[in-house]
Structure 1
Amino acid sequence: MQDVGLHKGLNAFHLWGIAVGLVISGEYFGWSYGWASAGTLGFLITTVVVAAMYIAFIFSFTELTTAIPQAGGPFAYSRRAFGPVGGCIAGYATLIEFVFAPPAIALAIGAYLNVQFPSLDPKHAALGAYLLFMILNIVGVQIAATFELFVTILAVVELLVFMGVVAPAFNFANFTAHGWAGESTFSLAAVGGMFAAIPFAIWFFLAIEGVAMAAEEAKDPRRTIPIAYITGVLTLTALAFGVMLFAGAVGDWRTLSNLNDPLPQAMKTVVGDSSGWLHMLVWLGLFGLVASFHGIIMGYSRQIFALARAGFLPAALARIHPRFRTPHIATLAGGAVGIVAIYSDSLVTIAGQSLTASIVTMAVFGALVMYGMSMASLFRLRRREPALARPYRAPLYPYAPAFALVLAAVCFLALVVYNPLIFVLFLSVMVLAVAASLLARQGGRQSFADGGASV
């Protein structure tokens, strides 16, 4: 047996690319479903509140990431603050978020490719994406992160190009028309629509916290992670509002509210079906989806690895490739779950939603539990371990983390009210996973020390 650790090769620019890349597909698709629930104006208010939550969360979460720079991220923080049970809750919530988000993104990749190649089955394209990017993640973190940075930059540029091309047709009256849950005036229905649209506003920012899972592979994480997180969340906030406003102001936004490709369809109303700009958007729009897909694979593999290394998942999942020093088995295991979800999409519906919409909601449930556990861990560790080295301290403590914690709780309760069946499914998975892991660990399952894993 040879003990090897994860390779440390990521600088601040790599980490910014991961932070933005993990999320940027959310600017390309998914969010426009919020218009169907809340209308443009209602969804705008929901997004402002959710953006404020994320900014407060990231500025607070960064303290934990720099103080405890481990691949487990939220699992490591909650385990230190609340013991094995708290660690399990945060770890499995994060795992649900990161394992359930990629199938939705992979299917969107397939939908974008199907625009150019109508004979190509989107599910087969999604499978090809999984195979390609699992391999890329396995062959080396620095190669994977450099690729992530490259496609993220292209995706950001493409969003700016989209805004520039449609700008001549921008008319704010289009954005405000029927802006309150499809009505012209504010009503109680609009309030309900705003709460129902919360998952789609979260989709604009979902998974940015995944940088924490790369902390063990970062150079000087106490310096580079704050730079990546803060610039990343500000970049994403600016892009989210820019994309939403420009897409909704170029025509009848209601035609975009239930589509997986709202940006090409919005551009089509401005430049026509045969414009080279449209074809460029479809092709380069793939980079945004690829950036998030590839980055989230990196995130779920590290979370599986960390749980297995601590003895909460089978030991084989903590193995590191002897040459590439990446958690290869964890990468493949998470991908297998996603591939099953892809081919089940048209066969399964939950509460009248497609499987894709349902797994997005499952991912959001996982994220909100993780956000709450992380902020609770921040408060507890401040009290229990005041001497813990904190290279970065949360600004406006305790108000900013409390604000993030309260808003995460409100969003979670709203999600339960509007998605009760999916909540029951989420809760069942969490209870079974946590209970099984704790019982197996107490029964003598081998636990790996936090410093490394066996090959």
Structure 2
Amino acid sequence: MSASTTTNALKPTLGPIQLWGIAVGLVISGEYFGWSYGWGVAGTLGFLVTTVMIATMYSCFIFSYTELTTAIPHAGGPFAFSRRAFGEFGGMIAGMATLIEFVFAPPAIALAIGAYLNVQYPGLDPKLAAIGAYVVFMSLNIIGVKLAAMFELLVTSLAVIELLVFMGVVAPGFSMANFVANGWAGEDGFNGQAVAGIFAAIPFAIWFFLAIEGAAMAAEETRDPRRTIPKAYVSGIITLVILAFGVMLMAGGVGDWRTLSDINDPLPQAMKMVVGENSRWMHMLVWIGLFGLIASFHGIILGYSRQFFALARAGYLPRGLAKLSRFRTPHRAILAGGAIGIAAILSDGHIDLQGMSLTAAMITMAVFGAIVMYLMSLLSLFRLRRTEPELERWYRAPGYPVVPMIALILALVCLVAMLWFNPMIAILFVGLMILGGIYFSLTKAQRQEAEDSLAVTS
């Protein structure tokens, strides 16, 4: 093996349980915070309708996406699928959208980590805690993917157990009357305002499931990806759907849900309504709840670093971001994403977001990237079925073409609704995509050089 091959190859070390840990861990923080902002715009009943729609979209999407992931196991994930289906420009669109999703989600999670720690230590600045989380977990990701995946599996398992404990502890205080009270947006029951709220809440329902697709970016580091990835994805989406509905229903039924609709720590505050502020259960939730946030934060750092790495290796970003450390990890890519996230955290309070909190803004930006990436991936599935029928598909999307089409239609509905209700964030998202397109147009020679280099070393 040549030196250049060595410096550009990721090592396959992950099994199905570890990949399940990454798939669920990438998402699990969405069950702890972020989603409750959806109550603020849709009410509990309106948001329930939104979540059913989004859960349907994700279930159909994951079954479709798994076909692509097993047929084309690549660290770039959607970038690789779209590039194969639609050429270099298609790869650029999917790659940039995925990068935006995975770079802007971590600052929101880091701020939630700070908010949870602030519950225990009121004197601790949440921003400093958030930056500290970046330093710690970037370092862990640099040390090695196998250690990172083992840690991810541990904290994800603890986070899942803790969500089950939360549901069990608050169950005695649950009342359906609490959940349905003022359950639609506005004050006049189900009407046009309630319908608008259902669509406005889409980003926060997506937050329940956002980033599960990121496990595909560990495909090159997975043993026997054709069998491992389907097991991880199918079990992962089942796990997340059950937890999402369980947590939402239980938290909304223990008291006045409106007090939980605009905060970063809804579960501790919901539990406080049932067991009191000084209960051991309460303190356990805060501490173990941190594992859920850490699992997603840690996993998404792994995801964004692999996306930076894949794009840089293919010449879509500066080639230096594709360098690997002595631990065989893309350390420069890890640091690049961290620098952007820390800058976002430091900007909190200094940028006018028209009444939107930084957490909500980061979630919305990440969701824009995700929806565009989902659309590109689904379109790639349809195109590759037509243009490459001979492609070896170890897993085929069930119910094709109906199931992928359901996901595609719902993703289009989500994109239109988000453009309508979030014009300022949409403009920022489009601006970032345009910057990526400008860089793409100026670096054709760089991409050709990267392609020639990979051809020589393959």
| TM-score, normalized by the shorter chain, greater than 0.5 | yes
Distance 2:313 2:86 in 1: 18
Q: 1:298 to 1:452 in 2, by over 3 A?
A: farther
Q: Aligned-pair distance for 1:431?
A: 1.4
1:331 partner letter:
I
Distance 1:45 1:449 in 2: 50
Q: Aligned-pair distance for 1:320?
A: 1.2
Matched, 1:243 2:219: no
Q: Aligned-pair distance for 1:247?
A: 0.3
Q: Corresponding residue for 1:190?
A: 194
Q: Return 5+ residue gaps in structure 2 as ranges.
A: none
Matched, 1:338 2:341: yes
Given candidates 262, 272, 279, the residue that maps to 1:268 is 272
| 3-state SS of 2:443 partner | helix
Q: TM-score of the superposition, structure 1-length normalised?
A: 0.97
Given candidates 338, 351, 358, the residue that maps to 1:355 is 358
Distance 2:452 2:126 in 1: 42
Q: 1:449 to 1:139 in 2, by over 3 A?
A: farther
Q: Corresponding residue for 1:295?
A: 299
Identify which range, 441-450 or 94-103, moves more after superposition: 441-450
Q: Aligned-pair distance for 1:24?
A: 0.4
1:345 partner letter:
D
Identity of aligned residues (%): 68
Q: Corresponding residue for 2:407?
A: 404
Q: Aligned-pair distance for 1:130?
A: 0.4
Q: 1:7 to 1:115 in 2, by over 3 A?
A: same
Distance 1:127 1:450 in 2: 37
Q: Corresponding residue for 2:5?
A: 3
Q: Corresponding residue for 2:116?
A: 112
Q: Corresponding residue for 1:379?
A: 382
Q: Corresponding residue for 1:15?
A: 19
Matched, 1:171 2:158: no
Per-residue CA deviation, residues 290-326 of structure 1 (Å, 9 max, x unaligned), is 00000000000000000000001001001111x3111
Per-residue CA deviation, residues 126-169 of structure 1 (Å, 9 max, x unaligned), is 11110110111111100000000000000000000000000111
Q: 1:259 to 1:342 in 2, by over 3 A?
A: same
| 3-state SS of 1:3 partner | helix
| 3-state SS of 2:298 partner | helix
Distance 2:430 2:421 in 1: 15
Q: 1:450 to 1:42 in 2, by over 3 A?
A: farther
What is the CA RMSD across the aligned residues, in angstroms? Answer: 1.5
Per-residue CA deviation, residues 39-76 of structure 1 (Å, 9 max, x unaligned), is 00000000000000000000000000000000000000
State whether residues 310 and 449 of structure 1, in contact with CA within 8 Å, keep that contact through their aligned partners in structure 2: no
Distance 1:440 1:139 in 2: 31
Q: Aligned-pair distance for 1:452?
A: 9.9
Per-residue CA deviation, residues 257-292 of structure 1 (Å, 9 max, x unaligned), is 111100000000000011000000000000000000
| 3-state SS of 1:353 partner | coil
Distance 1:453 1:398 in 2: 38
State whether residues 16 and 228 of structure 2, in contact with CA within 8 Å, keep that contact through their aligned partners in structure 1: yes
Distance 2:274 2:387 in 1: 58
Distance 1:413 1:14 in 2: 36
Per-residue CA deviation, residues 305-354 of structure 1 (Å, 9 max, x unaligned), is 00000001001001111x31111110111111001001111211223323
State whether residues 310 and 450 of structure 1, in contact with CA within 8 Å, keep that contact through their aligned partners in structure 2: no
State whether residues 56 and 404 of structure 1, in contact with CA within 8 Å, keep that contact through their aligned partners in structure 2: yes
Distance 1:448 1:21 in 2: 33
